[in-house]
Amino acid sequence: MSSKKVLPPYVCTYQGDLLAGVDEVGRGPLAGDVVAAAVILDPARPIEGLADSKKLSEKKRELLFDEICENAQSYSIARATVQEIDQVNILQASLLAMGRAVKQLSVQPEFVLVDGNKKPEWSYPCDTVVKGDSRVAAIAAASILAKVTRDREMLELDAEYPGYGLAGHKGYPTKAHIRALQELGPSSIHRVSFAPVKRLLVDFA
């Protein structure tokens, strides 16, 4: 019987206070922007309960969102648009959004930890951390800000683009979303470079 591998806690070589964590949300959906956040936590104002945003309830994420905004030394939320995703591909758009989030911090970091195994092209000393949103508090905080922001935006887009069910699936390729796309056709917020949307564009053309 196999057990799920648990990664050890991440130990950063940088020991100062200006450490930023950065993460993105929205690589998998067929619709909407990819959203990134960067956070520099304040050691004097610790935040309890930080974890991978996907493992938290919506209520807990909302509470932590406010607490992070109130207690972090600095935070920033940025994005890459649907048009940019279609132009440069989703990986490069995700890196673009993360780069923008860090650059927009009101307090510039001395070191950056990036969730995953890819990093933006920038001059910041940094390290990548696989599953960093479960191993690094600052990355977890960034993942919460990014997810709450994107989820809220999808609720707003659901009202603007009714019929797709965006409030429920947040743009991800669920059966209900694919069925709605087949019935209504892609909208202007759908990523035409993604195969399911691209195929439907041909059909509707």
Q: What's the confidence (pLDDT) of residue 2?
A: 47
Residue 115 marked as a ligand binder? yes
**Pair (152, 106) in one structural domain:** yes
Sequential pLDDT tens for the chain (205 residues): 445 677 888 899 999 999 999 999 999 999 999 999 999 999 999 999 999 999 999 999 999 999 999 999 999 999 999 999 999 999 999 999 999 999 999 999 999 999 999 999 999 999 999 999 999 999 999 999 999 999 999 999 999 999 999 999 999 999 999 999 999 999 999 999 999 999 888 766 5
Please indicate, yes or no, whether residues 82 and 178 belong to a single structural domain of this protein: no
- The answer to whether 158 is a known ligand-binding residue is no
Question: How many domains does the structure of the chain reveal?
Answer: 2
Report residue 111 as tokens: 């070191």
Task: Annotate 158-194 with three-state secondary structure.
Answer: HHHCCCCCHHHHCCCCCHHHHHHHHHHCCCCCECCCC
Closest by CA to 14, choosing from 129, 140, 119, 127, is 127
Enclosing domain of residue 177: 162-204
Q: Is 86 annotated as a binding residue?
A: no
- 190 shares a domain with 127: no
Q: Are strands 34-40 and 19-25 parallel, antiparallel or unpaired?
A: antiparallel
Decide if 5 is inside a domain. Answer: no
Are 114 and 195 within one domain? no
Query: CA 73 to CA 68: how far, in whole Å?
Result: 9
d(CA 64, CA 184) in angstroms, rounded, equals 37
Do 120 and 189 fall into the same domain?
Answer: no
